[in-house]
Chains A and B, each alone.
Chain A
Amino acid sequence: KAGVTQTPRYLIKTRGQQVTLSCSPISGHRSVSWYQQTPGQGLQFLFEYFSETQRNKGNFPGRFSGRQFSNSRSEMNVSTLELGDSALYLCASSFPGENTDTQYFGPGTRLTVL
């Protein structure tokens, strides 16, 4: 089975721009979560989706948004980019989406904001 894929792998943007990151979960997985990883803050939870519904959201400003499609693929969007948004963005999927399920992570998208 193919693992979690994330595109693009690397992205360079300038302040004020917006960006969309994509995540394709493992086939059959219905839950997708997003995390931001930075050296200073570690891994921070952004949001989790299940069957196209956001089940939980972390403490991030409204500039961060996401969605999930009927095929379980997910996108996250960051508008009005700031320098502090530079980070590794990780996506994880699980089946079927229960709290005890193991999450499987993609390789991440490295976003650099200049």
Chain B
Amino acid sequence: AQSVAQPEDQVNVAEGNPLTVKCTYSVSGNPYLFWYVQYPNRGLQFLLKYITGDNLVKGSYGFEAEFNKSQTSFHLKKPSALVSDSALYFCAVRDNGGFKTIFGAGTRLFVKA
């Protein structure tokens, strides 16, 4: 069965420093991987996705993610964090046969000025 793990409940980083939010997955077949962000009292916003091709995926707001098949990871990264990046981040995997998306538990990112 497909699953997604976000091992950190919370990540703290200083503004201007690089940030990484971790995600590992377990799927049968080719993984379709997504990152979403949720701001308070809002729905989820799409950041980026990996379907196939280049292992480094670039997305919205300067975020990127690196797909690593051998480590079954899809970590979200940004070279220089902003206070406005503070939010809840979700990694997700699409069940590639069953039209179902499975989300990780979410990682709360705090960026301190």
Chain A residues, CB < 8 A from B105? 42
- Residue with the greatest number of chain A CB neighbours at <10 A, chosen from B45, B101, B103: B101
CA distance A111 to B110 in the complex (A): 27
Query: Which bracket fits the contact residues of A?
Result: 20 to 34
Shortest A56–chain B CB gap in Å is: 5
If A56-B99, A102-B49 touch, whether A42 touches B43 (CB-CB below 8 Å) is no
Bin chain B's interface residue count. Answer: 20 to 34
Interface stretch among A13-21, A43-51, A62-70, A72-80? A43-51
**Set of chain A residues within 8 Å of B34, measured between Cβ atoms:** 102-103
Please give, as numbers and ranges, the residues of chain A lying within 8 Å of B90 by CB-CB distance: 43
B100 contacts which of A42, A58, A105, A107 (Cβ < 8 Å)? A58
- Asked if B43 and A100 sit within 8 Å, CB to CB, the answer is no
User: Given A50-B99, A58-B100: A103 and B46 within 8 A (CB)?
Assistant: yes
Interface string of A27-56 (1 = CB under 8 A from B): 000010101000000110100101000011
List the A side residues contacting B87 at CB < 8 Å.
none
Q: Which residues of B contact A50 (CB under 8 A)?
A: 99
CB of B94 closer than 8 Å to a CB of A: yes
Taking Cβ atoms with an 8 Å cutoff, the residues of B that contact A are 32, 34, 36, 41-46, 49, 51, 90, 94-106
